[in-house]
Amino acid sequence: MAEAAAGAQRSQAASQGRLARVRQWLERAGSDGHERHTLALIGKSTLAAAVSWVIAHDVMAAQSPAFAPFSAVLIMQVTVYQSLVQALRYVGAVAVGVGLQGVLGLLAGPHLLTFVLVTLAALAIGRWRPLGSQGSQVATAAFFAFSTYVAATSEAQRWSQLGQIIVLVLIGCGIGVAVNTLVLPPLRYRSAEYGIHTLAHTLSDLVGDMYPALREGKLEKERTRQWRRRASHLAPIVQQAQSSVHTAWESTLYNPRRFRRRHRHRTSFDGYQAVVDALERVSNQVASMTRSLDQWHAEGTSQDYLDFARSYGDFLASLAHVAELLSQIDEEQLQDQVRRLCQAAAEAQQCRDQLEEEARASSLPLSDPAEPYGILMAEAIRLTDEFQHTCDVLKHGVDEAHATSTEPTAGSEHS
């Protein structure tokens, strides 16, 4: 009966799944999440395109008015800073492409040879690094310019229409940047937290799978090989976290929303960047640790071996707790979370000290480079130092933000 009920429930969910997902997506769009940012970007792009079209088509009566709305939508980016950068690159690419056509067209005329020469020069210049992702627009602009140049009936009309293309692009880019800056300018504080959450949660899961096996002395080849494989997959997650923090910082550049009262005393992104940098180093050290554990299979079942494995498991359990707390970072609760993080980091230091005492009291060959014990102890020191450094950086950032928010405003003592 339970299976039948479950099957009926799955069938009902499947029949209404699409509408349910749409409804849930719209509900999520009401919160400060990806869906809301997507709707805002679509709405702002539509507004910028509409204004650009009105100016280009109705006011200027341009021959190719689509250049303006196309440019406005093209440079509508996830941050104001990127909109400015891409606008400058795009205008530069279009100006170069149109200029190439103008110069070569004047020298060689509207012939196939001119088109070939323009194409060669545009494709070569498009690889110029400062143009970035807009490099391909050099050739695109040159092709449109050639089409306009060929269709014109006089030399004066040709130069007028080529100049008009650049003017339309400038109008579209200007409107796009203005709309992105003035209408719900994107401010991605939360993306820094999301990147840290994902990376710290992945580390917590990996270390959380390791310490129970170490406590029980179960280091089978298949198990340790799986740990090593999972650790090797941390690199792209680290890159995503770095990108998330960079996007969050970049979203504050030239953004008027950062001057609002609710955003004025935000915790510095230097703290988040330091956290991601520390977690990146932790990821490298965890990868080194899994390599050592994967090579640790010929020690037998001596008591010293079992004791060391159990103590190392206890130590990793304390690190998993720190990583779990980092995976729950929330700026609104950071002051209380930092206190718990520092406490957890101190407990990890104690576990590391106890591990070191027990290892030195045993007969294990800690100084033998052919054995994994010394390497594992070195990784334990580095891991605890990194987590402690992370907690110290966050605490410093919270203290600074608290001190700034409690400073009396000018003239407040006279009010």
pLDDT tens for residues 250-309? 666 665 655 555 444 444 555 678 888 888 898 998 998 888 888 775 555 567 778 888
Q: What is the mean pLDDT of residues 114-123?
A: 92
What pLDDT does residue 412 have? 43
Q: Is the pLDDT higher at 334 or at 44?
A: 44
Least confident interval from 18-27, 141-150, 261-270, 383-392: 261-270
Q: What is the mean pLDDT of residues 45-55?
A: 95
Q: Is the pLDDT higher at 82 or at 3?
A: 82
What pLDDT does residue 222 have? 84
pLDDT at 198 over 70: yes
Length in residues, the chain: 415
Q: Give CA torsion, residues 278, 280, 282, 284, to 10 deg.
A: -150
pLDDT bucket at 111, cuts 50 / 70 / 90: confident
Residue ranges of alpha helices (H) inside 233-333 are 234-250, 261-264, 269-294, 303-326
What pLDDT does residue 371 have? 74
Please tell me the pTM assigned to this model.
0.58
How confident is the prediction for the chain on average, in pLDDT? 80
DSSP state of 266: P
Q: Is the pLDDT higher at 138 or at 186?
A: 138
pLDDT bucket at 319, cuts 50 / 70 / 90: very high
Q: Would you state the structure tokens that stand for residue 352, as one six-digit string? A: 């590391």
What pLDDT does residue 299 have? 52
DSSP 336-372: HHHHHHHHHHHHHHHHHHHHHHHHHHS---TT-TTSS
Q: Is the pLDDT higher at 329 or at 248?
A: 329
**What is the spatial distance between Cα 131 and Cα 91, in angstroms, rounded to a whole number?**
10
What pLDDT does residue 267 have? 46
pLDDT at 197 over 50: yes
